[in-house]
Amino acid sequence: MANIKSAIKRARQNVKRNAHKSTQRSTARTAVKAVETAGLIFIGPSSSSIELMGFKDKAKKLMSQSKVPVVPGYNGFKQDDKVLAVEADKIGYPIMIKAIAGGGGKGMRLV
């Protein structure tokens, strides 16, 4: 029992030591990576999955490929007003504009 408690204590110290170095956005990924690096099993998404979910376009593409229902949207590179207006008409109003990464939803706009 002492070895188990010692192993858990070391794992927690390793996670804390690595997690505090990260920014708020990547804390979960860093903590999970520390657990994985320590040879422990994290119950939950892998660090690579957490990293992927930080990029909305990549996450949405993966979910679509995995047959997970996603909210309709436009993820194209053409960002001129005409293209965006046509795509918005296809989606239907109201629409929400969201950056593909970062911000924690601060930049979302309802149109």
Entry pTM:
0.52
Helices vs. strands in the chain: H and E counts, helices first: 5, 2
pLDDT in tens, 5-60: 776 677 767 655 554 444 444 677 787 888 788 888 888 888 888 888 778 788 88
For residue 22, the model assigns a pLDDT of 43
